[in-house]
Structure formats: structure tokens, C-alpha cells
Structure 1
Amino acid sequence: MAKAKINKNSLEFPRESRRTLKPSYDPETFGRWSERFARFLGTSRFLVYMTTFVLFWVTWNSLAPDNLKFDNYPFIFLTLILSLQASYAAPLILLAQNRQTDRDRVQNKEDRERNEQNLADTEYLTRELASLRTAIGEVTTREYLHGEIADAIEEIVQKINKKP
């Protein structure tokens, strides 16, 4: 039994990934991570952690013996770390805000469409209600029917009385 030749260029098989030096990442995963990071930066927990870290750094480098200090008084290394943290935090916060803006835009569009549908439904129901009111105006009511029957009976009685 002969084996059939497999055509790797057909659509049944995925293409092999090409190696590249350009890093690849999932923008959605990175976006979710940036939102969590931005949310954390806005918490009191982050402020407590940063305050504790800076106080420890300054206290250690001020009161520790000279041979154990790693960043003397102007605290250049601390300044560098805080600047680096700020330089990464700002774009991540902006990315999180852009994602929130996109979600808000989609939500607003859906709300507008829902409002338009509700308005159309309300107008339809208003027209139906108006047509029902018109139809009810043409429907025979109990009082009208009683009056017509009474008139018919009276007419019949008069015709019977006129016969000799």
C-alpha cells in the first residue's frame, strides 16, 4: 500500500512559525496587566509600600555604619529608582486609560442602540394604544346595547298594540 504525499502548503496544515528577532507579545494580556498595575498604583496599599520602602532606604543609608551604606546622603540611587518607576508607570497608566476609553466608547454605542430600540418600541406601543382606543370607541357598549334592545322592545310593543 503506497502512502499518499502530504502537501504541507494546503490550508489543512498551519504554517510553521518563522524565527525573528522582533519580540512578540499578546497586546490583550499586556493591556490587562497594565490595568491591574495602574489599579494597584492608585491604592493606599501602594502608598504604604512605597513610603515604607523609601523610609527604610533613607533610614538605612543615614544611620547604618559606613561600610553597610550603599547610597549616601543625596540618595542618587533612590532617585534613579523612583524616576525609573515613574517613567514606566506613566505609560502603563495611559495605556490602561486608553483601554477604559475604548470600553466606554463601545458601551456608549450599545447604550445608544438600546435607547433607539426602546424609543422605536415605545412609538410602536403608542400607535397600538391609539388604534385600540379608536377601536374601543367603535365597539358596542353595554349601555348602548341595553338602549337599543329597550327601543326594539318598545317598537314591537307598539306594533302589537296597533294590530286589531
Structure 2
Amino acid sequence: MAPEREVRERAATGATAATRSRIRLDQPQPPRRRLLPEYDPEAFGRLSERIARFLGTGRFIVGMTVVVILWVVWNVSAPRDLRFDTYPFIFLTLMLSLQASYAAPLILLAQNRQDDRDRVNLEQDRKQNERSIADTEYLTREIAALRVGLGEVATRDWIRSEIEDLVKDVEERHGGGRVVFPAERPRGRDVDDR
């Protein structure tokens, strides 16, 4: 009875064997199993930067020097059965080489991340400089246009000198006497006001 109902449901929804086996592109795929563990590259990068910063401090150098001195003193002056690294200090050399082999790539990774940040900052600075130059050029053109425009504007001194010249011309025409201006026209509409 159940298989018949399943066939009827498929027929009602239009689901066929071809549509059921197709991959749905509108839905995310289920996560695949991975053999290697996943890690966050940003978190690893931040950790490497912290380690590189610590390796570049005086505290690390002093601490490393103290450890090496204690190591050598212990393996030279301790009783023979308590020594763990005899005179050529092969184990100490191995430990220092191991520390250096991990420190060098971590420092390089930190430097690469810093280079990437510097590159982004330089690009932003370059774009900001381009905008500043464009703004400066625009303002320079505007100031030049204002200067040209102001050259054509009548200033107070120019108007004063023109009025003085006109007064002199009028005085010369009327024989140096007092100039009497015609009476004002009556207020109201003039024929010329149209």
C-alpha cells in the first residue's frame, strides 16, 4: 500500500527519477569529509606575528642567553649521572636548530603579512594623494577664474576715480562754476519705464 501512495505523491508533485537525481544549485552542498584538520589562516597569521614580535625583543634574547648559559653550566659542573648533554652539547645544538627552523618561517610569514598591510596602506595613500591633487587643481582653477572675474568688477577705488573724472569733466564744461543738476523728475511712471 505504501509504494502506491509514494507513486501517487510523486505524480502529484511532478517528481520523477530524473529530477530527484539532479543536483540542486540553489542549496549549499553538504560539507565533505576532510583528512586534514582545517585551520583559520588569519588566526595562524596573527599567532605568527605575535611570536615574531616576541622573538625580536630583548627579553627573548636575554631569556635565550640565560637558558644556554644554564644548560652549559649544568652539563659541565653537574655530577656525571645528572648530565643530559655532554661537552660537544649536541642536544643543545639540536634544540637551537629546531628553534631556528621554526622561527625563520614564522618571521617570514609575519613579514609577508606586514608587506601586504603596507601595500594596502600605500595604495590608499596613493589614492588619497590623487584626490588631494585633483582637489588642489580644481581649487586653483576656481581661484584663477575668480581673479579673472574680479579683474572685470568695478572696485570702490575705480568707481571713485571715475566719478572724480566725471566731476572734473562737468566742471570744465560749465566753466569751473558750481554745477546745478536739473530737478528730479516727478515720481511715477515714465514713458521710458516700460
Which bin holds the TM-score, normalised by the shorter protein?
Answer: 0.7 to 0.9
Candidates 69, 73, 82, aligned match of 1:59: 73
Distance in 2, matches of 1:49 and 1:21, equals 39
The residue aligned with 1:85 is: 99
The residue aligned with 1:43 is: 57
Shift of 1:16: 4.8
Name structure 2 gaps, 5 residues minimum.
1-23, 183-194
The residue aligned with 2:138 is: 124
| Aligned ranges 1:9-20 → 2 under 5 Å | 16-20=30-34
Shift of 1:11: 6.1
Identical aligned residues as a percent: 60
Name structure 1 gaps, 5 residues minimum.
1-8
Distance in 1, matches of 2:132 and 2:116, equals 24
The residue aligned with 1:4 is: none
Structure 2 residue matching 1:67: 3-state secondary structure:
helix
* Paired residues, number: 153
Structure 2 residue matching 1:72: 3-state secondary structure:
coil
* Alpha-carbon displacement from aligned partner over 1:6-56 (angstroms, at most 9, x marks no partner): xxx7968x7654332212111111111111111111111011110111111
Shift of 1:156: 5.5
| Aligned ranges 1:122-161 → 2 under 5 Å | 122-154=136-168, 158=173
Shift of 1:148: 2.8
Structure 2 residue matching 1:19: 3-state secondary structure:
coil
Normalising by structure 1, what TM-score? 0.82
The residue aligned with 2:109 is: 95
Determine which structure has greater relative contact order: mean sequence separation of CA pairs < 8 Å that are 6+ residues apart, divided by chain length: 1
Distance in 1, matches of 2:136 and 2:46, equals 40
Normalising by structure 2, what TM-score? 0.70
Distance in 2, matches of 1:31 and 1:46, equals 20
